[in-house]
Structure formats: C-alpha cells, structure tokens
Structure 1
Amino acid sequence: MNFEKMYSTIDTHVVGEAFRIVIQAPIAFLGSDILLNNDVLKNNFENAKKLLLNEPRGHRGINGCVVTPSYVADFGLLFFNHEKVSNFKYEGLFATVTALIETGNLERNANDIYKVETVRGVYTLKLQIENQEVVSVYMESGICSEKKSDFDYASINVDNARNYLLYNLPHSIPTIDLQYLAELNRWGTEKIANLINDNVDFEGIILVESSPEYPNKVRSVTFEKDGYILRSPGIDSTFAILSSLSTNSEIENNSIFGSSLTAKKLSKGEHQFSIEAQAFVTGAHEFIFDEDDPLRNGFLLV
C-alpha cells in the first residue's frame, strides 16, 4: 500500500447536503490563479476524485471541495463533483468556512467576516460564532433574473450563471411528501429526459408546491441534471423560487426531507437575496488510494 497518496478531509452537511472538504492531499496546483487551478483540477486527478466521491467511501450525494491559497481572499475554494453536477454550490462555501474555523485550520478574525475566492468570484460570508462553534453563516446572492419562457415552466437564472426551471406541482401528485417519492422520481426522470432531448439548457429543475393560506412558505424538490433529488431545499433553488414571486419579500423553502431555508429580498437590489444557514461538521477522515485495490475507484449504486 502506498501511503504517499493520502487525503485528509473534513465532512460536513448544510441542511442535509453533504460536502467532503479536502484540506491536505497530493493534488498539486501552480500558484494561486483560481481559474487555472480549476482547469487543473477538472482535467486531472481522476483517481483521487473517484476515491473521495464514490462508494464505498462516499455516495452520489457527496460534493467535493478543495481548499487552496488565495491572494485576494481568506482562502480559495474549488469544487469537484459527479458527472452532470454543478461545479459550484453556495452550500460549499458555508460548509468549508465552518469546517475550517471549527477545526482551527482558518484563523478567526476580529469581525468574523470571511472572503472566499471561487471561479464565480469572491464571496463574503458573515459568521456568528459561539464557543468556537459556527452557529450561522450569512451570505448575499448575486443577481437573479427570470428569463422569458413560452413553456410550462419559469426559467430563473441565478448569479448570471446557473439556469433553473420551475414547475408547479402537477395534479397527478397529491403533495410533495416522502410517501409519493416514487411518483416524484418518475416525474423528474421523464421531465429531464424530455428537456435533454429538446436541448434545453438547465442546471436543475424545481418542482414547487404552494398554498394561498401560507404565501411565504413553499415545499419543493430539486432534481439535478442526472435525475438525483437534492437532499436539501437548495440555496440556488430557494433564490430561484423567491425570484419568481414578485410580491414576496421572503420565502421559507421546505424540502421533502424536512429541512428548510429562508431567503429574503435585499432592499438594495430587487433581484438580490440574503440567506442564513448553519453547517455541521460530521467527521474528519484520512483516505488512502491503493493501486492494488480492485475497487480503488469505487462505484455508484443505482
């Protein structure tokens, strides 16, 4: 066994969505250019990425993050993920800054405001810390906008980068609840196949259930591009839903698994929002890549 190929990670989750944060690994970058390093990570280290993402060490719901140095922020953050999954997630910012602060890998500053450099730009996070535990992370979005659509969905662009398609709950499904998971899965699988066949550009599709009795609350399910159901309400999804509701100043978005996120419109911009959430550290791990292991790249359960 070659112990030179060892990867130190911290596992976290944000309202149910899991992140594996690589803090030490034989992954070499050239300097601190975030775009160049992103290309290096994207086009190399396939064995390492599979080791960290796939069963039996991971699962389809795991998202990968790599912490890098930065000249313009407190740290840089790169994403690696399963095929067809976004290479950027707001939740990864929340997860990583929480993990680094709570494990002492990032020095705490006086105002508990931290900047994270990503391929999408530099994001500012405001932390509330009690007894060395990060109890909340606050962040403001980029610009979100609704695109004109002649179809049965609303098309919302988040951060001028990620396009989501919002659908109202069809009459064939009584409600968004775990007891109707099979029906929801079937609906999502069919819808995604049709969209891909029609060459529609999208990051994910969001099925939304609302009620006139509770105008500031919705239930939703987000399907990623491979048909996987997101384990959380989704920060992008919550921003997209609020962006589509012109009369609402805030929205509470509840997932099928019982977690929730609340987004609020910012007074400074009609199409910008704020969100606050807590990340939880669930473990610290050392992973070893063994060339002799017949399952060294792992596998995914279907």
Structure 2
Amino acid sequence: MEFSKLYSSIDAHTAGEAYRIVTRSPILPAGKDLKTKAAALAEGYRTEKNLLLNEPRGHRGMHGCVITESADADARLLFFVHDRVSAFKYEGIMAALAALLETGNLARTENDEYTVDTVTGIHRVKADMSGDEVMSVTAVSRSAEVSGEPERPSVCIDGERNYLIYPLPADIPAIKLEHLAALSDWGASKARELTDEGVSFSAVIVAEKLGDGRLRSVTFEPDGYILRSPGIDSTLALLAEQAKRTVAQKLENESIFGSSLTAELTDEASLAGKVTAEPFVTGTHDFVFDREDPLEQGFVIA
C-alpha cells in the first residue's frame, strides 16, 4: 500500500442532499478571484474529485465542497459535483455552515448571521442555534422569474438556474413510493428528451397538488437522477409559480420520501423567497489516495 495524498472531510446533509465538506486536501485551485478558482476546480482535479464523490467512498448523490478563506465573508465555498449537476445549491451553504459551526471551524457571531462567499456571490444566511448545535439555517433567494405556458411553466431562480415544472402524468396515480418506478422512468425519459432537444435546464419538477398550500413533488436532474429531498430551489420555483398565478405567499413542498420544506415569499416584485432547513453533520472522514488501488477513482452505480 502506497499513500500519496490525504483528504479530510466533514460529511453533512440538508433535507437529504449530501455534502462532503473538504477541510484538508491537496486540492488548491489557482486563481486571483473566486470565479477563476472555481473554473480551475471544475476543469481540473478529476482524480481527486472522483475519489471523493464516487463509490466506494461516495455515491451519485454526493456533492463536494472545498473550504477556503475569504477577506469578504465568514466563509468561502468552492463546490465540485458530478457531471451535469448544478454546482450551486442552497443546501450546500446550509450543510457547510452547520459543519463549520458545530466542529468549531467557524466562530459563532453574536446575531448568528453569516456571510458565505460562493461563485454566485455572497449569500447572507441565519443560523438558529441551541448551545453548539445548529438547529436550522435560513437562506433567502434573490429572485425568481416565471415564464412559459401555465401548464408547463419554467422558473429561473436567481437568474441562473432554470427549473421546468410539469403536472403529474395522467397514467401515474400519485406521487407515492409505490409509483416510484413509474415516476423514475418518466423523469429519466423527460430529461433525455429535453437534452436531445437542446433545452438548457437545471432540473425537471413533476408536482401534485395536495391542497391547503401543499404540494408533493419529485425533482430530476439532467441525467435523470431523482433528488432525495424536496429541493430548496425546487420549492422556491414552485412557490414563485404559484405566487405568479395566485396570491400564495407560502408553500409546503413534500418529497416522495416523506420529508418537506416550506418556502415563504419575501418580495412580491422579484418573487424572492426564504427557506429554513435543518442540516445534520453525519461524520468526519480521512481518505487516502493509494496509487495501487485499481478503483482509485471509484465508479458510479447507475
């Protein structure tokens, strides 16, 4: 066995979206500003990213995040993800903040408000803490733009991430676990269809109305992968779409697995909204890169 590199991480999840927050590693992307560093990380370090994201150390649902120092914010995050996955998610900010606070890698502020620098800009979030434990984190989006036909609207979150919303297909009775196979087939087929047509999208959402400001939805990423969570962006997109058509100010979005997120409108003009979620730290890990390992870069289970 020959160890050539060591990686230390804190693993955490927000509403089921898993993050591997790298606190020590040889991943040192060059660049004078965050966008240059993010581009260097996206284009390089393939072996390192595969080692951390793929089986047997990771899985398709794992996201990566490198912590760096910032002169302008409390923390700076560089995300790395599987191919065809949105590099930015609010879940990542929440998971990283909880991991840093609960492990003592970030000092607690007097008002529990924090600034987090990402390639999409500086985000302001608020943590609700009990002692040293993060009970929840609240994030506020910047905007949402609704377009397209009412039956199949498109919602762009923060001017960057485009979500396509579809009603529940007539041949699928409900968004329930007993229909997961049919939903998965539909989502994978729809993602392939849109990709073949050259449509640019961050995810496809299929939603079922439950009444009383509640929806149940499933979100599919461009490769057809089904999200484990209701999705913060998805919930914000569904809220914006409803607020555009009605006077809805609040929406609860349930996932097929039973978890839920609630979004509240914060600005009617921009359709910005806020979501509060509870992140969980699940463990700390040290990984080694062994050049003799035949699965050194791992693999992804389809």
Q: What range describes the TM-score normalised by the shorter chain of this pair?
A: over 0.9
Matched, 1:191 2:199: no
Whole-Å Cα distance in 1 between the matches of residues 32 and 62 of structure 2?
26
Please tell me the residue identity of whatever aligns with 1:17. E
More displaced, 49-58 or 195-204?
195-204
> Which residue is equivalent to 2:172?
173
Whether the 8 Å contact between 2:2 and 2:292 is mirrored in structure 1 is: no
C-alpha distance in 1 between matches for 2:70 and 2:29: 12
Q: State the match for 2:212 in structure 1.
A: 215
Q: Which runs of 5+ in 2 are unaligned?
A: none
8 Å contact 2:263–2:274 — kept in the other structure? yes
- Three-state SS of the structure 2 residue aligned to 1:64 is strand
Equivalent residue number for residue 224 of structure 1? 221
Q: What is the CA-CA distance between 1:148 and the residue it aligns to?
A: 2.9
Query: CA offset at residue 270 of structure 1?
Result: 4.7
- Superposed, which structure 2 residues align to 1:1-302 within 5 Å? 1-30=1-30, 33-149=33-149, 152-211=151-210, 214-246=211-243, 247-267=247-267, 269-302=269-302
CA distance in 2: counterparts of 1:188 and 1:126, whole angstroms: 34
AA of the residue aligned to 2:230:
P
User: How many angstroms apart in 2 are the aligned matches of 1:218 and 1:149?
Assistant: 19
Report the number of matched residues.
299
Residue 134 to residue 34, structure 1, CA distance change in 2 (3 Å):
same
Distance of aligned partners of 1:242 and 1:192 in 2 relative to their CA distance in 1, 3 Å threshold:
same
CA distance in 1, matches of 2:185, 2:102: 40
Conserved 8 A contact 1:86-1:203: yes
Matches of 1:31 and 1:197 in 2, distance apart? Answer: 35
Distance 2:196 2:77 in 1: 33
> Aligned to 1:5, what secondary structure does the other structure show?
strand
Shift of 1:30: 3.6
Structure 2: distance between partners of 1:128 and 1:155: 33
TM-score w.r.t. structure 1 length? 0.96
For 2:241, the aligned partner's letter is: S
Per-residue CA deviation, residues 67-112 of structure 1 (Å, 9 max, x unaligned), is 1111110111011111100111110000000000000011112111
Q: Which runs of 5+ in 1 are unaligned?
A: none
- Tell me the amino acid that sits aligned with residue 158 of structure 2: D
> Pairwise CA RMSD of aligned residues?
1.4
Q: Does structure 1 conserve the Cα–Cα contact (< 8 Å) formed by 2:69 and 2:75?
A: yes
**Could you list the runs of 4 or more consecutive aligned residues of structure 1 that deviate by over 3 angstroms after TM superposition?**
1-4, 29-32, 267-270
Whether the 8 Å CA contact 2:4–2:291 is kept in 1: the answer is: no
Shift of 1:250: 0.3
Q: For 1:82 and 1:41, locate their aligned partners in 2 and report how far apart those are by CA, in whole Å.
A: 12
